[in-house]
Amino acid sequence: MFKNIAKSWRDKLKSGLSKTKALLLTDVKDLINFGSEINDNLWEEFTDILVASDFGVKSAQKVIGDLKQLVKENKIKEKSELLERFKSELKIILDAKDNKINLENGKLNIFLIIGINGVGKTTSIAKLAHNYLQEGKKVILACADTFRAAAGDQLDIWAKRLNIDLVKYSEGADPAAVVFDGIKAAQARSSDLLIIDTAGRLHTKVNLVEELKKINRIIDREAGGAKRETLIVLDANIGQNSFNQAKIFQEAVNVTGAVLTKLDSTAKGGIVFAIVEELGIPIKFIGVGESLDDLKEFDSNEFVEALFE
Ligand code: GDP
């Protein structure tokens, strides 16, 4: 039973990454098999392939720079060794930041979920709740996105489906008040995890930043000892745009990790590397579909292997 679930996840990941793979792997293999010897020309073409896969210029240059160094140090002697070394370099980038989330037992853990509307925030919250419920944790939700009534309604549907509590106020209410009540409810119920949804309207950036800061102050005050993660939800489909969103949020709050959604339908999987390498934000979860089981903790090894299988 467990094996079947694991396989279907891997299959989804592999097929989801197939578009990125078509762009990245095929071209890299062609370059290695048919391109010039290891020289400036090859490095230039290699960099172009990475940039085309949404690696971002800086992280592409970093990978190529590291590979060049390995050649210089004679650790790569043949062109045929490049692919394996390339894979290792990718794993090194992804593991440079801690991408694990471990809930602290017997204590309240808080996930503050940020990101702009439409990226898959609500669905990811439901999936996260589902994952932790399956681990036997007590989960409660709070909807601090009081800007769109639809956000609360959507989350309500998920909370009912998952049979968990949701703290929500009517449209226009103070988001920090929702967070306050969410914390009180979580404490009263001895919850293991409180997941807080926040508004995602970047066009009023200043307000949003102030709102997030206020929410953080409430958490500091009311649940200072809680283990906290601030997770940004990003849509892998929009590549560099996701990168830009992450950058804006990171300037405002201390983002501790990313939830990358919609990796089942993108040719822009390379953005994973740009987010980790250039922004220093570890990927903590990835989503590869719309059902509850389609979100898993990020595993760099699994990700890179899926990209190259
Ligand atoms: P929000 O506005 O950020 O809260 O976005 P929603 O959670 O409402 O999601 C927007 C759309 O993206 C919905 O149709 C979701 O089903 C879909 N979605 C979310 N995550 C994934 C994913 O990993 N893969 C796919 N294919 N669709 C997703």
Residue 205 has pLDDT above 70, yes or no: no
Same domain, 150 and 254: yes
Average pLDDT over residues 178-191: 97
CA 34/CA 36 separation, integer angstroms: 7
Same domain, 122 and 254: yes
Q: In this predicted structure, what is the pLDDT of residue 204?
A: 62
Same domain, 142 and 245: yes
Last residue in a domain, options 95, 124, 149? 95
Q: In this predicted structure, what is the pLDDT of residue 89?
A: 92
Per-residue pLDDT reduced to its tens digit, 65-91: 999 999 999 999 888 899 899 999 999
User: Would you say residue 81 lies in a domain?
Assistant: yes
Average pLDDT over residues 14-42: 80
Residue 18: band (very low, low, confident or very high) from pLDDT cuts 50, 70, 90: confident
Same domain, 149 and 264: yes
User: Would you say residue 276 lies in a domain?
Assistant: yes
Q: What is the CATH number of the domain that holds 245?
A: 3.40.50.300
Q: In this predicted structure, what is the pLDDT of residue 252?
A: 81
Ligand 1 centre to CA of 153 (Å) is: 15
Judge if the beta carbon of residue 237 lies within 6 A of ligand 1. no
Judge if the beta carbon of residue 122 lies within 6 A of ligand 1. yes
Residue 160 has pLDDT above 80, yes or no: yes
Same domain, 123 and 215: yes
User: Would you say residue 208 lies in a domain?
Assistant: yes
User: Would you say residue 156 lies in a domain?
Assistant: yes
Q: In this predicted structure, what is the pLDDT of residue 6?
A: 53
Ligand 1 centre to CA of 179 (Å) is: 24
Judge if the beta carbon of residue 242 lies within 6 A of ligand 1. no
Last residue in a domain, options 62, 95, 128? 95
Percent pLDDT > 70 in the chain is: 96
Last residue in a domain, options 95, 117, 133? 95
User: Would you say residue 308 lies in a domain?
Assistant: no
User: Would you say residue 100 lies in a domain?
Assistant: no
Q: In this predicted structure, what is the pLDDT of residue 1?
A: 37
Same domain, 130 and 273: yes
Minimum mean pLDDT range among 106-120, 216-230, 233-247: 233-247
Which of 290, 292, 296 maximizes ligand 1 atoms within 8 Å of its Cβ, making it the mutation to test the pocket? 290
Residue 228: band (very low, low, confident or very high) from pLDDT cuts 50, 70, 90: very high
Judge if the beta carbon of residue 121 lies within 6 A of ligand 1. yes
Total domain count, the chain: 2
User: Would you say residue 304 lies in a domain?
Assistant: no
Same domain, 67 and 175: no
Same domain, 170 and 259: yes
Range of the domain at 182: 109-299
Pairing of strands 109-114, 165-168: unpaired
Residue 203 has pLDDT above 60, yes or no: no
Same domain, 63 and 207: no
Q: What is the CATH number of the domain that holds 50?
A: 1.20.120.140
Ligand 1 centre to CA of 171 (Å) is: 22
Same domain, 153 and 269: yes
Same domain, 128 and 192: yes
Same domain, 265 and 155: yes
pTM: 0.91
Judge if the beta carbon of residue 123 lies within 6 A of ligand 1. yes
User: Would you say residue 115 lies in a domain?
Assistant: yes
Ligand 1 centre to CA of 176 (Å) is: 25
Q: In this predicted structure, what is the pLDDT of residue 7?
A: 53
